[in-house]
Amino acid sequence: MASYSSVVLLVVLQVLAGSLNKVTVSAQCEGSAQCLKDIAALKAKVDSDKLALIKAEDLLSAKIASCSFSCPAGFTKVPGVSKCIKLLEGDSTWDAAQMRCADIQSHLLFLDSQAEADFVKAQIKAKSDAGKAPGRGYWCGARRITDSCASDFVWKTATTGGTQKPLTFTDYAAPNSCGAGFPTEFCMEMNINSAYKWNDVPCSIGNWPICQTP
């Protein structure tokens, strides 16, 4: 039997090359139970390290992409993600707000994390401190899949058609009130009276748009 250290070295090389299998392990260990056990543990450790490395590389790639990402003129970059926002002034219905965003090659805001929500609220506060604040709130891109209280909210990039994306993060001010007494609350606003947390409302009311690109 080859020396223990040479067997382990050979196995490490085969694991890294992706060519290790049960037949070669058995042959190299020549039936030694301890050898087989040690190599199985070694392979598991190397596989785990390779997976961790892949995840780290993916994270690094995302961070590099985010750092090198630039926004169109007039938009502000959201830290940590490849996303830019612009707060527009003037009341619009949800549909009209979505079209105003489309006019500047964008769509109503998607929010995917608390960090993003906090950043947007900070931008809203800065605008309010400068004397520019809506009477009620801002529109984001969340709308029910269909005009029904039983329908779920999704992110939408257009009034009709476009892209729909499931909500993976929420920032509700209160439980959904759509239903008896409030039968048409199909769109989502960020309401001034609840520190700009989310509130479902009729799509026909007036709010200021927050646009996002891409």
Structure tokens at 6: 């040479």
Let me know whether 140 and 178 are in one domain: yes
Let me know whether 45 and 78 are in one domain: no
Other CB atoms within 10 A of residue 64 CB: 10
- pLDDT bracket for residue 44 (50, 70, 90): confident
Let me know whether 169 and 98 are in one domain: yes
User: Is pTM beyond 0.75 here?
Assistant: no
Structure tokens at 38: 């040690």
Count: domains in the chain: 2
Let me know whether 171 and 199 are in one domain: yes
Let me know whether 139 and 161 are in one domain: yes
Let me know whether 89 and 129 are in one domain: yes
Cβ contact 138:196 at 8 Å: yes
Let me know whether 106 and 39 are in one domain: no
Q: Give residue 59's pLDDT.
A: 72
**Which of 27, 48, 67 delimits the end of a domain?**
67
Let me know whether 22 and 121 are in one domain: no
**Which of 35, 67, 99 delimits the end of a domain?**
67
Is omega for the bond preceding 214 within 30 degrees of 0, making it cis?
yes
pLDDT over 70, % of the chain:
81
Q: Are strands 208-213 and 137-144 parallel, antiparallel or unpaired?
A: parallel
Let me know whether 127 and 140 are in one domain: yes
Give the structural domain span for 105. 72-213
145-148-153-156 Cα dihedral, nearest 10 degrees: 40
Q: Distance (Å, rounded) from C-alpha 33 to C-alpha 28?
A: 12
Let me know whether 117 and 44 are in one domain: no
Structure tokens at 133: 């604040």
Structure tokens at 28: 């190299």
Q: Which amino acid is at 198?
A: W
pLDDT in tens, 71-116: 999 999 999 999 999 999 999 999 999 999 999 999 999 999 999 9
Which residues are within 8 A (CB) of 87 and not within 5 positions of it... i.e. 6 or more apart? 123, 124, 127, 138, 208, 209, 210, 211
Please tell me whether residue 131 adopts helix, strand or coil conformation. Answer: coil
**Which of 67, 82, 114 delimits the end of a domain?**
67
